[in-house]
Every structure is written in structure tokens, then in C-alpha cells.
A = this chain, B = another copy of it.
Amino acid sequence: MPHTIKKQRPFMDLSRYISKNHLFSGVSSDVLAPFLEAAQIRREEKGKFIFIQGDKAEWFYLIIDGWIKLFRDTIDGNEAVVDVLTAGHLFGESAIFDNGIYGYGAQLLEPTQYIMLPSSLLKTAVASDQKMAMNMLQVMAQHRRQQSMEIEHLNMQNAPQRIGCFLLRLCPVDVKGSVTLHLPYDKTLIAARLGMKPETFSRALATLKKDANIRVQGAMVIIGNIQELVDYTCNHCSNKFPCDDL
């Protein structure tokens, strides 16, 4: 008795993933239809570059599962990690309305499934459909707010505080007291994401253990008391916890 092969039934699967993304929420099905038609689903191996900085932005992307990183390479050979994204996240969409050139590269961190959608479709859909336009604007505006926060964090918070902030954003919103969570990806990568070196990350995590009642066991982190961590972390920030961004 053959069991289901899940990679098939592409159209329905795509539909689910695409339409439930906020960009398409409340959008009529005839606006949605061409996206479903044109969508291509891909599964690629770790390390694959989906695109690099400077490429023409002919597609934008939606992650189904797995992890990718957005990055920029500097002239002297360093790499800045712009963002790390997973299921449900959209990327590459911003360049479409700017200069049509990706401002960063995108690389898979592990085997990852994603959907690619044509930029041209997004452009026309946004131009012709009000709801799409408003959704797109909202996505952009939220991104801008996130980026503002990021800039503030880099300016105002030190390494342990940036990690604390990162951990707090991993917590479910409503909990109080103690929380156990595990880090979504490599510590090295988290470090890069937070704009610090792995060694600094390691030491900063150690000071959190000492000063903010945190326990760490490999990738598992136990926050003894959320409020304590907030007190330690959020003073140099302009947002009161819980921050509504992410």
C-alpha cells in the first residue's frame, strides 16, 4: 500500500503557502491566480546561492522550510549578515520597487524549499490592485521599523544586551517567569547576525549566565526569569519590552 508522496500536488501546496502569506492576505483570487500559475517551487542544498548582490531582481522569494541568510560582501572580503530567514519569510521583494538590483545575496544555510515568483507580476499586481498595494506598503513599513530597531541596537546595546534582546524575541509573547528555548541556528551565525564575532558571542553569553540568570546547555537556553533578563537588556533601548517588532 503506497503511502503519499508529499512532494507532489504542487499547485495546491503552492497555493497554501502563497495565499497565507501576509502579502496576499485579503487579495482576490483573480489577482492571486497569476502568481500561482507562475510560481516555481525549488528545493536546493545547503550552500546554494539563490542570487548575489548586484543581480537583476527578476524574482522574489518565499521560504517554505529551511533557513537562508541574506548577506553583503565587502570589498576587503568580509561578510555582513543582513538577516537570517525561515519558513514564511519573504525576501528579494524590496529591490523591485527601488532600482531593480538585489542589495544583498541570499544563500541557503541548509537544504531549503522555497518558492520563486516573478517580480514583474508583483509590480503589476501592486499597481492594479489596491489591497496588494496596501499589503506591500505594510510589509515595507514594518521592515523599515525593524531596521530602525536594528540600527538602534547596534548603536546603543553592548554584546550581552544584544544577545539578551535576541533571546527575548525568541520567547512566546505571553509567558512570564522562566522559559526554555533553543537557539534556531548556529551560535556562529547568531553572532554574525548580531554584528559580533563568535568569541565575543561566547563570552557575552557567559556574562549573561552570570548577571541575568540564564543557563545554557549547547543550543538549549533556559531563561531563569524573563523580567530579570529584560531589566538587564532593555535599558539602553527605546522600546519597552515586549517589543512589538520582529
With an 8 Å Cβ cutoff, the count of chain A residues facing the other chain is 48
Contacts beyond the supplied A75-B234, A80-B238: 5 A-B pairs with Cβ under 8 Å? A72-B152, A72-B238, A80-B152, A99-B145, A127-B133
Specify which chain B residues have a CB less than 8 angstroms from the CB of A104 in the assembled complex. 148
Indicate if A103 sits at the interface (CB-CB under 8 A).
Answer: yes
Indicate if A185 sits at the interface (CB-CB under 8 A).
Answer: no
Interface residues of A (CB under 8 A from B): 53, 72-76, 78, 80, 82, 94-99, 103-104, 126-128, 130, 133-134, 136-138, 140-145, 147-148, 150-152, 154-156, 195, 234-238, 240, 244
User: Mostly helix, strand, loop or mixed at chain A's interface?
Assistant: helix
Contact of A237 among B74, B82, B244 (CB under 8 A): B74
Cα distance A136–B244 in the bound complex, in angstroms:
24
Q: List 13 A-B contacts (CB under 8 A).
A: A53-B238, A73-B238, A74-B237, A75-B235, A75-B236, A78-B236, A82-B152, A97-B138, A98-B141, A99-B244, A104-B148, A126-B133, A126-B137
Contact of A156 among B74, B96, B142 (CB under 8 A): B74
